């Protein structure tokens, strides 16, 4: 009779919630944090390797039209060409070192005819909202040293725009070569490059990511622990309620009088059924 407890609607609902939460911990939340930990480890390795590797021409690292990958991101490349300031786009709603910023994106036409998107660095907002004046890129042919970067993706797939609030200048919400290409009509190759300090056209160079593991591994282990504790708690309360007298039974050691024992849910159900069979109200 005690096992009827497990078929009660309230207990079934509790069991469903417990097992759904544990499943989410094991199959979604913990793997997600493990994946972020692996991404951070790969990024740290790539940045560390790039600091000692020599810069190479872009065409040697990525053939024409090929997009950067996780393996090639952060590698230092040399790009020779001419800036196209008329096609410049400002990336808004950015944060650099914990402070708001705008990033300046200027296409560059290389000597072999490709167009590469160059992130020239960042500027701080003027009066907390507006884009301040900043230096234009140099005219004529230049050779810049930069780091390969993957295009960012906007979950809302927003295009660049220009209106009265931007004073006619193109603004975008992500650093994405395809967004800039659609807005300017240029055939920009996938990915972009981020200028190193001291390069022609650089404003304030973007800092490299810090080489630290981050909290992702500990978060993953915490989600596994939460899922496990939830299951163990459910098992404990199930066993407690199925035992005669429940888990709050009085002290039976004999040293002091035991208080009246609390009936378990299973015992109450059994007594109710016996009364129904005997016809007793």
pLDDT tens digits, residue range 195-249? Answer: 999 999 999 999 887 667 778 788 888 999 999 999 998 888 888 777 765 543 4
In angstroms, the CA 279 to CA 198 distance is 94
Inter-residue contact 147 to 55 (CB < 8 Å)? no
What is the pLDDT, as a whole number, of residue 250?
Answer: 43
pLDDT at 3: 63
In 3-state terms, what secondary structure has residue 134? coil
Q: Considering all CA atoms of the chain, what is the largest pairwise distance in Å, rounded to the nearest integer?
A: 102
Continuous segment of H or E residues that includes residue 141: strand 141-149
pLDDT digits 0-9 by tens, 86-110 = 999 999 999 998 899 999 999 999 9
pLDDT value of position 203: 95
Strand partners, 148: 193
State the Cα–Cα distance between residues 50 and 73, nearest whole angstrom: 9
pLDDT score of 9: 79
Distance of CA 250 to the CA centre of its chain: 51
3-state SS assignment for residue 85? helix
Look up residue 49 and give its two tokens.
């390797």
Closest CA to 91 of 30, 201, 177, 20: 177
> 0.75 exceeded by the pTM?
no
Identify the residue whose tokens are 């009364």: 275
Strand partners, 103: 91, 122
Low-confidence stretches of the chain (pLDDT < 70) are 1-6, 43, 49-50, 52, 128-129, 210-211, 244-270, 279-281
Crossing angle of the two packed helices 265-278 and 216-242, in degrees rounded to 10: 30
Q: What is the pLDDT of residue 36?
A: 78
Residue found under tokens 């009660």: 8
How high is the pLDDT of residue 248? 39
CA–CA separation, 89 vs 159, rounded Å?
11
In the chain, where does DSSP find H-type helix?
Answer: 9-24, 30-52, 58-61, 177-184, 216-242, 265-278
Distance CA 169, CA 167 (A): 6
């Amino acid at each position: 009779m005690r096992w009827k407890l497990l078929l009660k609607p309230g207990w079934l609902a509790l069991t469903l919630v417990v097992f759904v939460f544990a499943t989410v911990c094991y199959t979604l939340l913990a793997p997600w944090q493990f994946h972020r930990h692996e991404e951070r480890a790969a990024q740290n390795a790539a940045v560390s390797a790039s600091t000692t590797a020599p810069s190479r021409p872009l065409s040697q690292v990525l053939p024409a039209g090929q997009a950067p990958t996780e393996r090639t991101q952060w590698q230092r490349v040399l790009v020779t060409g001419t800036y196209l300031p008329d096609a410049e786009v400002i990336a808004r709603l950015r944060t650099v070192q914990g402070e708001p910023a705008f990033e300046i994106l200027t296409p560059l036409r290389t000597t072999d005819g490709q167009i590469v998107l160059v992130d020239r660095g960042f500027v701080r907002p003027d009066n907390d909202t507006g884009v301040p004046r900043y230096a234009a890129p140099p005219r004529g042919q230049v050779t810049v040293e930069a780091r390969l970067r993957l295009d960012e993706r906007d979950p809302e797939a927003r295009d660049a725009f220009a209106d009265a609030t931007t004073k006619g200048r193109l603004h975008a919400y992500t650093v994405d070569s395809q967004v800039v290409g659609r807005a300017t009509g240029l055939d920009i190759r996938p990915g972009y490059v981020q200028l190193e300090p001291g390069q022609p056209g650089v404003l304030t160079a973007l800092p490299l990511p810090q080489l630290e593991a981050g909290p992702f591994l500990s978060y993953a282990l915490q989600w596994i622990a939460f899922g496990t504790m939830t299951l163990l708690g459910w098992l404990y309360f199930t066993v407690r309620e199925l035992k005669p007298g429940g888990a709050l039974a009085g002290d039976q050691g004999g040293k002091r009088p035991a208080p009246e024992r609390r009936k378990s849910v299973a015992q109450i159900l059994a007594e109710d059924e016996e009364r129904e069979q005997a016809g007793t109200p």
